[in-house]
Structure 1
């Protein structure tokens, strides 16, 4: 069996990493950037930390701030138009998963215009050219979009999110700077942090997992289990650790895929505009419990990273339950909803949502094969 690893070219880590944005732009001969971000990050003077560095260095740029949570096809097309109008030769994506995902789609379409309908990018699209170069500056510690080959777009007309997987979309440089994450409100810190944990755990137990990705995912679980509470409390060291942990998880899952948590979370975002991290975090303990008998000894490793002393000596069934309980407790401690009714889910929608979850590109990677009927039962158990 052949395993493939794709990672971005260069990354900077630590407080002050964004000072290297103009350094990299100059070294690569870039002339004009389209800065892709959202209005909130501009209003609260987060994105402007990066544009100030560009201003000091005399770099030209235009701002596209039309990004919303769960970005849509129309958002991508508006961004493509903005990039063309600006005659940008690179993109600086500043934000969480939504701005960086949108930037990836914009960049791909600029260099592969035959995909301008956006929908044709779903799955593994046969793009020929690397996207317009992207410099990615994450402002949340969860999605790892700065190091993955994946992005997610919402198809509003059909109430669904679709996943695009493209080796041509990965940012060329990432700037993982905890200063950019200090403005996160506690709720966003919690949801993106638990999303990162979901990436690490699903990547660790997915069918395609192998030695190199296992190494990355178990380290990510270790970091997140021991730093998310501090990050949630506003501690900068905690946020710096979370920034690293989510990046490491991204290095892994981008190459082996995810599972049913993401498969079931995507429809909740598409139907009810639930933030992706919240949906994943709410579902994670339930799906861990559902999968536990199909994961070999791996829950021992997860339990150990959560500080469970008998992880390698107790009965396996007991340890699996302890691992699930530890993840659930972490979610509770950072304020994650414990039912999907709290997310606005309607019981009458569950059959249709379950069909979408079953067809989601992430679902086949789950260690336990599933069915629409079982997904319906899982959703109903969370009401």
Structure 2
């Protein structure tokens, strides 16, 4: 049996799929595992992370796109059209596999490109509450991995998953973070509380366009807190100069860390190192909750969110529609955290069925191989 794990999305998705590829290789030596990427730097990232699994024997492949497109992606970031071109150029490569296992849904387009024999399997890449995580097109996958009961229930209600064609209890990123671990150095050389500001990348959902600069200016002026500004990886991936300009503007301040998209922005360095989460709808809040701490949510678009399952995580801390008197609102989030503590603990258990202390990728690897053998 031969399986492919193409990593054609942004790098933050790598941590959700790669541990499963490595566990398939380590636990099932009769399965040939290939990990493939569009760019050399992405392939190097995957190779580097794979060294944490010395027992795995994986082949790493560079997908056959033009050198010009490869340079453009490296220099200016990844677009949806780049992924589609990469899939189309690689369709002959993908026809050679029994299964194609991915953390995103763009790869479903391979079926329209004539790649119909391989089973399509979805690992997912996050565990937030937004509707996009429960889109009906996910039902086109032959087999899916879901993190916990919360996601399972919504997917069953929408008819996305069916018994025998999914496995519950996987959040492979935690496995990798545990291996990387995590005696990480302190983020700042002081004893101030550290705030993580983590806005989403979609303008219609993100607090960044309406509030972002006000937030950075507030933290630049005050001397009570540290700030890590580490937005969703995609916010600046196609606007890299804007991210670099922010580093130049604020990066000299010893109590502010501006990270528009380094590896540390995707490997839970900041979610594990911060004392309070400040953000809007990024699923990274679910990862932050693995160790319950205060949150302050930003409703920049005045959404009627109460009772909406897409905003369930906004029940886990105070929600504000403006950032006037932000210092008082942060202080209130710290003071009222005991009120939200039990809800946060329950949210983690319903979302992940783990506190991140036990690996989940091995069971996912076994479930995938078992499904493929049954489907053969």
Q: TM-score, normalised by structure 1?
A: 0.33
Which structure has the larger Rg over C-alpha atoms?
2
More contact order relative to length (CA 8 Å, sep ≥ 6): 2
